Amino acid sequence: MNLREKLASGRFVVTCEVGPPKGVNVSDMQRSAEGVRGKVDAVNVTDQQSSVMRLGSLAGCCLLRQWGIEPVLQMTCRDRNRIALQSDLLSAYVLGIENVLCLTGDYVTLGDHPEAKPVFDLDSVSLIEAARGLEKGHDLAGKELKGSPRFFIGACVTPEADLLEPQIMKMEKKVEAGAQFFQTQAVYDAKKFADFMSMVQHLRVPILGGIVVLRSAAMARYMNEKAAGIRVPEKLIDEMDKADDKVAKGVEIAARTIREIKDLCQGVHIMTIGMEKRISDIIDAAGL
């Protein structure tokens, strides 16, 4: 079964993500992918994450398919206009890639080319609408296609945002536009996540809780200060501070969080941010 079929069957799914290299040596990416083979249901390939120039998500997804792993294409609106975005969607489909996570994208000032000109011709909602239009046989200009793709379209939501109402309103717009599943931003508070899930149950779409693995207390404090919608509780920061092995503690916290939210959602999406080799440890420790 593919990702679409597993979620439709009610099976609890696990996805993770890998970052393409800044260059053309894909050996580390391949090792990371091989390390999660058979332990995750699909693997996201990030699209110039944090606005840092890297190998493209489309190329990374093609490599995952060659390695026998189901990919999820992440597509942001930051760097391409509607012509390029639609073209890349068509390209992905003819290359055998159907899972697409539609994102607006981080602003360029966060990355390594702050002088770059951002595009943002579309946002995440209109990108979903564009993908749905392609499925119906026409592009955003209303021109007919010769053959139509079929996607499994995902989107993102932030369940621990300070103001949940705008998040839920945007989520509703994404579902109306055609989103079929969600991967969330980081979850650290199971109670807040439970409250969020109860507020969006009317949408009846699969939701995968996001797990961002902590590497240090400093990382947690940085996210609290800089990352909108992420709040690492002080008790977890204290745990990281006191731990002799910070990475092992981060793995332990991630696995514990998965166990706490497992019955609330349809799966989890694990984000290790450069520690892909620990994904297998997290999955084992969580008992998945």
* Rounded-to-integer distance, Cα 185 and Cα 157, Å: 6
For 170-222, the pLDDT digits (tens) are 999 999 999 999 999 999 999 999 999 999 999 999 999 999 999 889 998 98
Question: Quick check: 92 pLDDT over 90?
Answer: yes
pTM of the model: 0.94
Of 67-71, 216-220, 258-262, give the lowest mean pLDDT range. 216-220
Residue 135 confidence (pLDDT): 98
Question: Quick check: 124 pLDDT over 90?
Answer: yes
Indicate the helix (H) or strand (E) that contains 15.
strand 13-18
User: Strand, helix or coil at 112?
Assistant: coil
Question: Quick check: 83 pLDDT over 80?
Answer: yes
DSSP letter for each residue of 29-92 = HHHHHHHHTTT-SEEEE-SSGGG---S-HHHHHHHHHHTT--EEEEEESSS--HHHHHHHHHHH
For 206-217, the pLDDT digits (tens) are 999 999 999 889
Domains of the chain in start order, with CATH, are: 3-286 (3.20.20.220)
Indicate the helix (H) or strand (E) that contains 235.
helix 234-242
Among left, alpha and beta (phi > 0; psi -120 to 50; other), residue 23 is: left
* Rounded-to-integer distance, Cα 69 and Cα 61, Å: 9
